[in-house]
Amino acid sequence: MKRAIYPGSFDPCTLGHLDIIKRAANMVDELVVGVLINKAKTPLFSPEYRVSMLKEVTKDIPNVKVESFEGLLADFARQKDANIIVRGLRIVTDFEFELQVAQTNRMLNSDLETIFLTTSLEYSYLSSTTVRETAAFGGDISKFVPPELVDTINEKVAAKFKEDKNE
Ligand code: PNS
CATH number at residue 30: 3.40.50.620
- How much is the pLDDT for 105? 98
Instruction: Report whether pLDDT(129) > 90.
Output: yes
- How much is the pLDDT for 69? 98
**How would you write the chain as a 3-class SS string?**
CCEEEEEECCCCCCHHHHHHHHHHHCCCCEEEEEEEECCCCCCCCCHHHHHHHHHHHCCCCCCEEEEEEECCHHHHHHHHCCCEEEEEECCHHHHHHHHHHHHHHHHHCCCCEEEEEECCHHHCCCCHHHHHHHHHCCCCCCCCCCHHHHHHHHHHHHHHHHHHHHC
- Label the pairing between strands 3-8 and 30-37: parallel
Whether residue 145 is contained in a domain is answered as no
Tell me the mean pLDDT in the region 40-52. 94
Rounded CA separation 167/162 (Å): 9
Number of domains the chain contains: 1
Active-site residue set: 17, 41, 90, 128
Q: Please give the number of the atom of ligand 1 that sits closest to the Cα of 11.
A: 1
- How much is the pLDDT for 89? 97
Whether residue 86 is contained in a domain is answered as yes
Which residue did the predictor score with more confidence, 121 or 167? 121
Whether residue 35 is contained in a domain is answered as yes
Determine contact, residues 18/126, Cβ cutoff 8 Å. Answer: no
Residue-wise pLDDT tens digits, 52-70: 999 999 999 999 999 999 9
Residue-wise pLDDT tens digits, 134-158: 999 999 999 999 999 999 999 999 8
Whether residue 134 is contained in a domain is answered as no
Q: 26: Cβ–Cβ under 8 A, 6 or more apart, which residues?
A: none
Whether residue 163 is contained in a domain is answered as no
The model's pTM: 0.96
Determine contact, residues 29/66, Cβ cutoff 8 Å. Answer: no
Q: Residue 15: which domain range?
A: 3-125
Whether residue 142 is contained in a domain is answered as no
Q: CB atoms < 10 A from the CB of 135, how many?
A: 24
- How much is the pLDDT for 81? 98
Whether residue 158 is contained in a domain is answered as no
- Decide whether any atom of ligand 1 lies within 6 Å of the 7 Cβ: yes
- Decide whether any atom of ligand 1 lies within 6 Å of the 88 Cβ: no
- Label the pairing between strands 113-118 and 84-89: parallel
- Decide whether any atom of ligand 1 lies within 6 Å of the 101 Cβ: yes
